[in-house]
Amino acid sequence: QELAAATLGANRWQTFWRITLPAIRWGLTYGVVLTVARALGEFGAVLMVSTALPGQSQTLTLLVHDRYNDHNVFGAYCAATLLMGIAFVVLLLMTLLERKRDSAS
C-alpha cells in the first residue's frame, strides 16, 4: 500500500497519515495503554533505581510512598486517588476504543 501510494504521487507525510498510521492504529493504541498501566503499577524497580528527586525523577507511586513515610497520610491518599483516577480513565478509554474497533469491523 505504501509503495502504491508513492507510485501515485503521495509524499512521505501523506503516506504516513493515510496508510501507515491507520494500519498500526490498534497496535499503537494498546501499546500506549499497556505502557500507562505498567507505569502506574511499577514501584519496586523504580524505588531501587530512581534517585526520587522531586520534580526530576520522582514518579507518582514514589510520591505516595514518600508522603506515607513522612506521616502525611492525607497527601498520600490524595496522590493514590489521583493514580486511581488515571487508571480509571485509561480503562474507560480502552473500553471505548475497543467498542469502536469492534463496530468498525
The pLDDT tens digits for 34-52 are 887 777 667 666 776 766 6
d(CA 83, CA 60): 7
Q: What is the pLDDT of residue 15?
A: 92
Average pLDDT over residues 94-98: 84
Compute the distance between CA of residue 85 and CA of residue 88 in angstroms, rounded to an integer.
5
Instruction: Centre a 10 Å sphere on the Cβ of residue 63 and count the other Cβ atoms it contains.
Output: 19
